């Protein structure tokens, strides 16, 4: 694969090239995440198509790519296990409607106010659950009912292997290990000219080629001849499920988690490029429409996905055309070459998800929280992770958010933050007075983002009594982005870690 087009290439050429790269990244992930969610792989492909073509056209973050996300695989698996696949459609339609309403009422900023410790703890917990679940897929077996059961059964899988009797289980494991080895080796040794060729694609291709050429008897991916056959339209009892409290709770959980993951991903994508910034409320509305359509089609829920989005930016994408085209390529591939997909060993996709899940467990983030903000954010991160694994996703997130309220206790009498913005001789001054905590993050974020991009800025924290880690992370990102774009920023009155950015 050729490297990304140079800056002299036209936007259309760069978008076209980037769309191919994102398509190659998305294909194995769409199927693997569907399998990790306990649904047929074609459900993930439908979500990828809708996320590319529809959400790509409507998105408030032009370079973000949407599709099925590992962050929702665990909650979907539990929903399908407990309520059946037929309940997923009504849940997604309701979740999508909640997202659309939240975007209309401009609530996008509030999702960004969720403590980074909670979000990263949630993602780490999800990563653990994906690893311990997909570990069993490496042995051509199905994951068990919950994370602790999967964890307890892990030693038994290894002890049950027989080196003297190589059967389907042993062959599947070897194919999975081959996939992981190819992925890791490619990421470490790939030449610069081929840096955009996805490791997951090569790993799956290698395992598929070995399984096909040797006629190995292992479980393979099952997809229909016609992708339209995978679309499950609403039945007569579709909307009646909304009276079930469990369905309402699940819809709220998916809307909340999908929105938080999407908007945090969008913020990360904004840090990767100097183009159009994200309109968070527009992005929320677009995601809601996408999930509405996924619900009516009987597919998986979607979010903005950082892996595909970062590949899009790195490949040189300039506009939303890249995301749209990647959805077109997925549709064309599954329509023309479904037989090729049916040659992929399930163990290979399980291996891709093992690597993906392991990378969600980011201990460096916990170290960063402890070094810069102390013990409480690390405790929030750890408790969220443990409860996601030991109980369920929603419990972990809600307890994490409840614990994050402890950060407000020292500033309870002065929680109100006053943001004063003035202009004097071409210099924009943003002065803060009071405690900058996560409850004030939407107001603070709006004030900072409203400063014209080419204007010099003075950020005055002299009267700011405290800055919690949620606001500190947001302000650091803003400062770095302004300075990376050549903007002049002066910082006054900063103490602690914020002073390092003066």
What pLDDT is stored for residue 51 in this prediction?
Answer: 97
Q: List Cα–Cα distances, 424 to 8, 427, 429, 483, in angstroms.
A: 39, 5, 8, 20
Smallest CA-to-CA distance from 96 within 392, 297, 330, 307 is with: 297
Cβ–Cβ < 8 Å for 44, 30: yes
Strands 417-424 and 427-436, by their bridges, are: antiparallel
What pLDDT is stored for residue 2 in this prediction?
Answer: 43
Structure tokens, 34? 């569907």
Distance CA 195, CA 186 (A): 9
Cβ–Cβ < 8 Å for 474, 444: yes
What pLDDT is stored for residue 5 in this prediction?
Answer: 56
Distance CA 166, CA 175 (A): 13
Note the pLDDT tens digit of each residue in 375-432. 999 999 999 999 999 988 888 989 999 999 988 887 777 778 999 988 887 789 999 9
Note the pLDDT tens digit of each residue in 57-86. 999 999 999 999 888 998 999 899 999 999
Radius of gyration for the alpha carbons in the chain, expressed in angstroms and rounded:
23
What the chain holds in terms of domains, given with CATH numbers, is 11-346 (no CATH), 363-411 (no CATH), 415-501 (3.30.750.24)
Note the pLDDT tens digit of each residue in 341-374. 999 999 999 999 999 999 989 899 999 999 988 9
Phi and psi angles of residue 305, each rounded to the nearest 5 degrees, phi first: -120, 125
Ranges of residues in the chain whose predicted pLDDT is under 70: 1-9, 495-502
What pLDDT is stored for residue 497 in this prediction?
Answer: 56
Distance CA 187, CA 22 (A): 16
Distance CA 75, CA 394 (A): 8
Helix, strand, coil percentages, rounded to 5, for the chain: 65, 10, 25
What pLDDT is stored for residue 3 in this prediction?
Answer: 47
What pLDDT is stored for residue 501 in this prediction?
Answer: 57
Q: What is the DSSP letter of 499?
A: G
């Amino acid at each position: 694969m050729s490297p990304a087009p140079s800056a002299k290439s036209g936007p259309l050429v760069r978008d076209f090239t980037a769309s191919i790269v994102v398509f190659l990244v998305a294909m194995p992930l769409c199927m693997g995440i569907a399998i990790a969610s306990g649904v047929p792989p074609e459900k993930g492909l439908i979500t990828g198509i809708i996320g590319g073509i529809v959400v790509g056209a409507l998105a408030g973050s032009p370079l973000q790519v949407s599709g099925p996300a590992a962050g929702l695989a665990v909650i979907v698996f539990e929903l399908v296990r407990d309520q059946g696949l037929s309940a997923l459609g009504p849940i997604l339609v309701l979740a999508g409607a909640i997202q659309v309403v939240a975007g209309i009422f401009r609530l996008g900023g509030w999702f960004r106010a969720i403590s980074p410790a909670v979000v990263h703890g949630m993602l780490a917990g999800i990563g653990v659950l994906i690893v311990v679940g997909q570990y069993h897929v490496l042995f051509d077996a199905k994951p068990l009912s919950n994370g602790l059961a999967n964890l307890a059964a892990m030693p038994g899988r290894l002890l049950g292997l027989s080196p003297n009797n190589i059967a389907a289980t042993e062959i599947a494991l070897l194919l999975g290990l081959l996939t992981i080895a190819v992925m890791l080796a490619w990421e470490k040794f790939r030449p610069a000219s081929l840096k955009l060729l996805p490791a997951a694609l090569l790993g799956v291709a290698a395992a598929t080629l070995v399984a096909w050429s040797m006629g190995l008897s292992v479980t393979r991916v099952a997809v229909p001849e016609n992708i339209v056959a995978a679309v499950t339209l609403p039945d007569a009892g579709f909307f009646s499920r909304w009276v079930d409290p469990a369905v309402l709770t699940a819809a709220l959980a998916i809307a909340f988690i999908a929105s938080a993951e999407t908007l945090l991903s969008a913020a990360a994508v904004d840090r990767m490029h100097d183009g159009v910034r994200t309109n968070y409320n527009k992005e929320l509305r677009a995601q809601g429409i996408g999930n509405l359509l996924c619900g009516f089609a009987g597919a998986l829920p979607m979010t903005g996905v950082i892996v595909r989005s970062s590949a899009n930016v790195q490949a040189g994408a300039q506009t939303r055309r890249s995301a749209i085209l990647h959805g077109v390529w997925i549709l064309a591939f599954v329509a023309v070459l479904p037989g090729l997909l049916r040659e992929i060993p399930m163990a290979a996709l399980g291996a891709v998800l093992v690597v993906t899940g392991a990378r969600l467990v980011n201990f460096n983030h916990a170290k960063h929280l402890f070094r810069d903000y102390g013990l409480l954010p690390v405790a929030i991160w750890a408790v969220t992770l443990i409860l996601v694994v030991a109980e369920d996703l929603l419990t972990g997130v809600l307890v994490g958010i409840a614990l994050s309220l402890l950060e407000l206790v020292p500033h309870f009498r002065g929680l109100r933050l006053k943001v004063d913005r003035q202009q004097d001789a071409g210099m924009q001054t943003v002065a803060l007075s009071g405690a900058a905590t996560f409850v004030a993050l939407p107001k603070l974020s709006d004030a900072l983002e409203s400063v014209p991009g080419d204007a010099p800025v003075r950020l005055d924290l002299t009267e700011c009594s405290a800055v919690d880690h949620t606001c500190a992370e947001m302000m650091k990102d803003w400062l770095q982005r302004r300075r990376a774009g050549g903007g002049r920023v002066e910082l006054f009155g900063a103490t602690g870690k914020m002073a390092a950015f003066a």
